[in-house]
Amino acid sequence: MCGIVAYKGHRQAEEIIIKGLQRLEYRGYDSAGIALLTPELSIYKKKGKVAELQAHIADQNTQSTIGIGHTRWATHGEPNDVNAHPHYSQTKDLAIIHNGIIENYASVKKELVAHGHEFTSETDTEVLIHFIEYIQQSNNVDLVEAVRLALKRVVGAYAIAIISKNDPDLMIAARKGSPLVIGLGKNEFFLASDATPIVEYTNEVVYLNDNEIAVIRGNELHIKNTDDVVSTPEITLLDLELEAIEKGGYDHFMLKEINEQPRSINDCLRGRLNASEGQLTLGGISDYLSKLRQADRIIIAACGTSWHAGLVAEYIFEEFCRIPVEVEYASEFRYRNPVIHEGDILIAISQSGETADTLAAMELAKSRGATVLGVCNVVGSSIARISDAGVYTHAGPEIGVASTKAFTAQLSVLSMIALKVAQQKGTISETRFREMLAHLEQIPAKVEEALKSEEQIRGISELYQDAKNFLYLGRGYNFPVALEGALKLKEISYIHAEGYPAAEMKHGPIALIDEEMPVCFIATRDGSYDKVVSNIQEVKARKGKVIAIVSEGDVLIPKMVDHVIEVPNTHEAFMPLVATIPLQLLSYHIAVMRGCNVDQPRNLAKSVTVE
């Protein structure tokens, strides 16, 4: 949520910032703005899309080589022009952009009002820049020191960038709990919330750590923390290609990313899994395999789609490793004073590696002595840095808000971890271990086959695009798939949908079923197949419309349902990797037919970096 782009160098800042903000549109936002030193400190901002900001500044003087830009996802104050970022200080000598939430802004604002400050917006961000200027003036210190002192006083999360009319060669940035990356060019610097706006210009970046302040003056970058301790910037090379963040001929990023899954899963497995040799290598957690093997309990903490991946992993770990697993919403875990022991392992799952609640759950677990492992997609992300160890999914950038390839990549990684632990622990025979590796190695090809059902799914979508409600049902490994299918539909098409264990249907949801209620069964062949068949018959007896995801070659279910989508056979533990594909396509096509903004659904952000 929210996006930061800033530039200081020798090029025209406005062009770079606008293009960067467009690259960050996938994060979700409701307004956009830019501040430039022209040499006056000029701020332009508009409610709506970046395109509206572009139109707004089309006839303005934007000649500047230093500037800051922002896309805002409203927290304090409604979405409008006034609350949009950037914000001026009291004298209008300073401008700031800010991601995050300043929790004690109200008390700080009260203090500033008592000293004569007047505010134009409802935001906590305007309070912060006023506070910085107040400290600078009242303590007679330079701007860098004023920023440091202010950040020591405020409570909350932030990623900020500041420019000054009175010091046009200076840009200051800082972060705590909200991501910020600095790109290093030749006599130029780029700031952004993630690497997507930067990759076009440089592959050398510095990831700011919590409580660090970056001071860019002239052609130099200096970093210190809020305790005034100086550190040497650690330069990281980006593993990201510009083509990966373009649509590549697809109508939407979501469709592109659905179709990328054979490759993204293969990239996840490549170099780690060799079925013919019976080898599975996970270098990122190799030093922690003994702790995993001896774990009293595994706790999986995640949010949204990543939580669903964790639910599938619970089944896999418990079946193959015989270790008890608890899957927790990170947002609830952190607030309920959970019981955590030193022998516990917490696995944190996040596509972005910046999910605020998941990060907080990790910090809590570490403070209680648990070992914390991370599964994430973004190299250099906060989760990657604070984990004791972890595994990257290597799914490539995911721009669509609705997570698709990240989900299957997370499942692939979690499956490999479980199998490796089972092998180390001796809870799986060598023969079965090799069989499971062979099944997993074939998943990319089976996902490729599942994607061929798109035209059939498009036809089904036409029939149900106007549905008011949907029900998704599955059992065993396919229950989390039902939850994920319902989430995908509701978040991009705005149709109310619920996922349930099929066995729970008679404990409530069956009351909803009539001839207007589409019911999607994940009914592939597994140990619960006969029970699911009975559930289907119960729905049909009440005139429900049934869409069934079935294993290839099934001859029983097609006789009793309205629509059948076949997927290739695989081991039931890996069926979620295949069965989720038609559900992704179904939600996508229904949303497109309803005229929804598939890549940027309303009210949603790609990365939830604040509570």
Active site residues: 2, 606
Q: How far apart are CA 595 and CA 589, in angstroms?
A: 10
Q: How far apart are CA 282 and CA 273, in angstroms?
A: 9
- In this structure, the number of other CB atoms found within 10 A of the CB of residue 174 comes to 27
C-alpha 147: how far from its chain's center?
29
Q: How far apart are CA 588 and CA 566, in angstroms?
A: 18
* DSSP SS3 for 322: coil
Q: How far apart are CA 355 and CA 375, in angstroms?
A: 12
Q: Which pair of tokens denotes residue 330?
A: 């990170």
Question: 3-state SS of 195-241?
Answer: CCCCCCCCCEEEECCCCEEEEEECCEEEEEECCCCEECCCEEECCCC
* 8, 56 Cβ separation under 8 angstroms: no
Helix axes 105-114, 124-139, angle to 10 degrees: 50
* 399, 265 Cβ separation under 8 angstroms: no
Q: Buried b / exposed e across 426-459, counting CB within 10 Å, b at 16+?
A: ebbeeeebbebbebbebbbebbbbbbebbeebbe
